[in-house]
Amino acid sequence: MQLLDGKETSRQIREEIAAEVAAMKERGERPPHLAAILVGHDGGSETYVAAKIKGCAECGFKSTLVRFEDDVTEERLLEEIEKMNADPELDGFIVQLPLPKHINERRITEAIDWRKDVDGFHPVNVGRLSIGLPGFRSATPAGIMDLLERAGIKTKGMHAVVLGRSNIVGKPVASLLMQKSEPGDCTVTVCHSSTRNIKEICRQADLIIAALGSPGFVTEDMVKEGAVVVDVGTTRVPDATRKSGWRLRGDVDFDAVAPKCSWITPVPGGVGPMTIVSLLKNTLLARRGGVFE
């Protein structure tokens, strides 16, 4: 069993990005600029946004954080988005999800200029990804593909089983895995809450992408000997031994499953750090221009 080490791989990619940004600055060019809009004080969102801002600093990017309280109106958010869309010195921006119930996430996502949509959530970017055109790939699926590529895992012809059909992970990662590309070129099965025989389907998988948000769902009896297992789950579970009172737990029962795998991601330190670096990669692409050519 070998670890798919997202922490180390993301460190390498961050170094590559930082070197390119340093060269830009030496040439007297403006560094990439990412902005984030954060609404309210959700613990998870605060942590993710702080990591994104820290990633910008590590790579020499300019970053801007715009915060609103929970009671912000949709109109005020749309106004801020319009301002960011029109700012020529801003390469890309994100609106951290989830948003409060009174705000329509779809309206917000669609208001973002897709040329600045470094999250890759806008329907134009999702559509381009699904037909294999260049564009902003959403961060978690892109991070998974980079992790597989950098480990030298040849996925051509594999049966990939994706657990979960979310718009952010399940659907786009299934699209990427089925593209005629390397990594990619897989036969893909997407399983979800209404899937029958989920254990039998998983047992046929050469590659499992677990993105259900159900801690420990993938057990030893669901995994074929030699399979590659990528765990996207990051659920906070109570842990009295930690100062915080919680720890992150993945969708895979790691201790029991790992001995059967050829490769497996840990949680934390697997997909999570790759997600942040994918956002930085998209922002660098946005700064360079020509993403959609």
Rounded to the nearest whole angstrom, what is the least distance from the CB of residue 224 to ligand GUN in the complex?
A: 30
How many residues would you count in the chain? 293
- Please state the closest distance from residue 140 (CB atom) to ligand GUN, in A: 6
Query: What's the CA angle centered on 122, arms 119 and 87, to 5 degrees?
Result: 70
Rounded Cα distance between 205 and 188, Å, is: 9
Q: Which is nearer to ligand GUN, 153 or 280 (CB)?
A: 280
Q: Which residues bind ligand GUN (CB under 6 A)?
A: 94-97, 119, 139
The C-alpha atoms of residue 178 and residue 209 are separated, in whole angstroms, by 13
Between CA 192 and CA 194 the distance in angstroms is 6
Closest CB to ligand GUN among 166 and 195? 166
Q: Provide the minimum distance between the beta carbon of 265 and ligand GUN in the complex, in angstroms, as a whole number.
A: 17
Q: Which residues pair with 216 in a beta bridge?
A: none
For ligand GUN, give the closer residue by CB, 153 or 250: 250
Residue 147 to residue 63: CA distance in whole angstroms:
25
Quote the least distance from Cβ 119 to ligand GUN, whole Å: 5
Buried b (16+ CB within 10 A) or exposed e, 51-81: ebbebbebbbbbbeeeebeeebeeeebeebb
Q: Which residue is nearest to ligand GUN (CB)?
A: 97
Active site residues: 52, 96, 119
